[in-house]
Copies of this chain bind each other. A is one copy, B any other.
């Protein structure tokens, strides 16, 4: 199935290792394709995040709703990103987050128990997992620093430099929320920044 080809390519590229035919069959036997239409939820607040999803096509946002009803986007995800509330996924606690498709979404999903199997039995998969874990740690470190110490403008410039494609794929109000800004402030920053 062509869905899986992109996934296999991704694993091999990130890990620098090849998947055997057996590896591929094991992955295909357990990762389940899933489609969501725009606005559908992959995860709802209060539910346990039973599945982790790998984005084949489309985009999604991970967000919370505060007591005043304001939404705060924690993560925006595109092709080749993993989708989960890791706290809930690892600990099986009810999630504080919602994950919603922003465009029609094609995923491959699996449970934590299945992931553990892949880690044990597929060297390329477990190498990929440790590389990703490193990348996440690095990205988190950077983003924390930006969130705490940078001004609104600096955070926006950072986004332009690091994730320029976000600007093409996501509307401004989503970007603003992701940066921890009001949409009005982002609009003004954009006005001032060029020209």
Binding site for B on A (CB under 8 A): 64, 66, 72, 74, 85-87, 90-91, 133-134, 136-138, 140-145, 147-149, 180
Contact = CB atoms under 8 A, between A and B. Distances in A.
A141 B87 contact: yes
Contact of A144 (B90, B134, B143): B143
Nearest to A137: B86
26 contacts: A64-B145, A64-B149, A66-B149, A72-B145, A72-B148, A72-B149, A74-B144, A74-B148, A85-B141, A86-B134, A86-B137, A86-B138, A86-B141, A87-B141, A91-B138, A133-B133, A133-B137, A136-B137, A136-B140, A137-B137, A137-B140, A140-B140, A143-B144, A144-B144, A147-B147, A147-B180
Contacts of A143: 144
Given A74-B141, A87-B141, 14 more contacts: A72-B148, A72-B149, A74-B144, A74-B148, A86-B141, A87-B138, A90-B138, A91-B138, A133-B137, A136-B137, A137-B137, A144-B144, A147-B147, A147-B148
B144 A140 contact: yes
A144 to B, nearest CB: 6
Nearest to A136: B137
A136 to B, nearest CB: 6
A55 to B, nearest CB: 18
A91 B142 CA distance: 14
Nearest to A133: B133
